[in-house]
Amino acid sequence: MSNNLTSSSQPARPSVAWIGLGIMGSPMSENLIKAGYDVTGFTLEQDKLDRLAAAGGTAAKSIAEAVKGADVVVTMVPASPQVEAIAYGPDGILENAKPGALLIDMSSITPQTSVDLAKAAKDKGIRVLDAPVSGGEAGAIEAVLSIMVGGEQADFDEAKPLFDALGKTIVLCGPHGSGQTVKAANQLIVAVNIQACAEAVVFLEKSGVNLDAALDVLNGGLAGSTVLTRKKDNFKNRDFKPGFRIDLHHKDMGIVTDAARNVGAALPVGAVVAQLVASLRAQGDGGLDHSALLRSVERLSGGQVA
């Protein structure tokens, strides 16, 4: 089989089908177009298809139409049920993609779903990488995502130029499902970090300290983090427009706590934060950015939440 994705003096760009054009999928697919890839996309919302077409891509009317003849199929959907819905069945990816195609699932799903998908795809002659990302909407727009990949080395090497158009830190973490396992750990760290930042913000404000000055100096020391850099303005301005929704982080905390239980790893702090995320969602804030964990801390501290 020819290696369509490896670089040469004049690399041949593979044709790409992109399924799922949400907060992350739209800017990511547009970055591939900017990098010279021919992208055909499908999603359920017409306005997202119109956006893709305006960026220079091609809008398809179905999954089958999008993936037909594509060298690479990229999926970016919310969770395991959606991945299974688009992958399987007579109208799904596996029945309509050509043999030899490379399916790159960039959704955040359970490791077992990725393992099962790779097995089912192999029977169809389709190769699979699980390649979830971290960096949020800003990272997607700026093409600086961290991409954690599970699968075969040869497939990873073949896909690397495509990944380079989407992110900056790109690592093969192991066999199928490994990318999802690392993403689960990422979501654990991010949630705990956001919660700690939110608690610090409420503590600082109630103490009468200038919040701008405090967060600036904290972010310059050992307490500094990408989370604080990215979410500092969200905290200060109470701007919780979603870059990554609480609903999705709730799903991810379920993945990591379940996976940890299966391997016998204790997550005492993670379990508490998972409950705080679930509580925020139950209070109707699931559609807000995960930095809205600040709202829970404010409620617990007796403050009024707008």
By the 8 A CB rule, do 162 and 16 touch?
Answer: yes
**What are the beta bridge partners of residue 42?**
19
Angle between helices 46-54 and 25-34 (to 10 degrees): 20
Choosing from 183, 231, 232, 251, which is the catalytic residue?
183
- Choose among 262, 114, 126, 272: nearest CA to 188: 272
Of 268, 105, 243, the C-alpha closest to 188 is 268
Count CB-CB contacts under 10 A for residue 191: 24
Q: Is 183 a catalytic residue?
A: yes
CA distance linking residue 62 with residue 82, whole number of Å:
15
Number of Cβ atoms within 10 Å of the Cβ of 144 = 13
Residues annotated as catalytic (active site), given as ranges: 183
